[in-house]
Chain A
Amino acid sequence: NAGVTQTPKFQVLKTGQSMTLQCAQDMNHNSMYWYRQDPGMGLRLIYYSASEGTTDKGEVPNGYNVSRLNKREFSLRLESAAPSQTSVYFCASRSPSGRSGSEQFFGPGTRLTVL
């Protein structure tokens, strides 16, 4: 049971290059999320997916696209990277709500630098 996995762990891009960050979870969760973490700003939601086949914008979606390929996988794509997208990216999945509330489980993160 690996939980939430992300690849790659580190990536350096040049301005204008594209790349896809991969995320997978093996907990059979419906909801998945992409956040970015910047110094002094906490984590901000980029996109989320409530279930397979659905995606919605979060707080900072500009410059990103997502794909919920199946229940396990939720990828984040940068079509034309910009230095402002230098950040640490975290994927998360959420356990179902119950009487004790739900919990989000986070992957180890991808550290992205755009030159």
Chain B
Amino acid sequence: GNSVTQMEGPVTLSEEAFLTINCTYTATGYPSLFWYVQYPGEGLQLLLKATKADDKGSNKGFEATYRKETTSFHLEKGSVQVSDSAVYFCALSGSGNTGKLIFGQGTTLQVKP
């Protein structure tokens, strides 16, 4: 079945450091891939998405490229801020039209001033 694996956290960085959170997936067909962010005490918000191979999603300085050859969708940001501290979830939606999301376990990011 479909699955998503994320790097384990927590990840602790200093402000302005480079961020990478690894995400790999297993899926049949052509899934859509997503990164969601959860700030403390809140629900999840869509950060970025990619719907086909080689697509790059980007938002708020974050980027991720849909790599079908390596089944990966790694999240990157060139210079993190304290306000980026949150839990980040990688997710996929299968080829069918149900829209069901399969989530990774989440990675906690803490950015220190």
Contacts and interface: CB of A to CB of B under 8 A. Distances in A.
Contact of A43 (B46, B98, B103): B103
Contacts, number: 57
A53 interface: no
Contacts of B99: 31, 33, 48, 94, 97, 102, 104
Contact of B104 (A42, A56, A92): A42
B12 interface: no
Given A103-B49, A106-B44, A107-B43, A45 B89 contact: no
A42 to B, nearest CB: 4
Given A100-B51, A101-B49, A44 B103 contact: yes
Interface in A2-41: 4, 31, 33, 40-41
A103 B93 CA distance: 10
Interface string A92-115: 101001001111111111000000
A74 interface: no
B97 interface: yes
A95 B39 CA distance: 22
Q: How large is the interface on B (under 10, 10 to 19, 20 to 34, 35 or more residues)?
A: 20 to 34
B97 A43 contact: no
A83 B43 CA distance: 23
Q: How large is the interface on A (under 10, 10 to 19, 20 to 34, 35 or more residues)?
A: 20 to 34
A92 B43 CA distance: 9
Interface string A67-81: 000000000000000
B36 to A, nearest CB: 8
Nearest to A103: B46
27 contacts: A33-B100, A33-B101, A40-B105, A42-B4, A42-B103, A42-B104, A42-B105, A43-B101, A44-B103, A45-B100, A45-B101, A48-B98, A48-B99, A58-B100, A90-B43, A90-B44, A101-B51, A102-B32, A103-B46, A104-B46, A104-B99, A105-B46, A106-B36, A106-B43, A106-B45, A107-B43, A108-B43
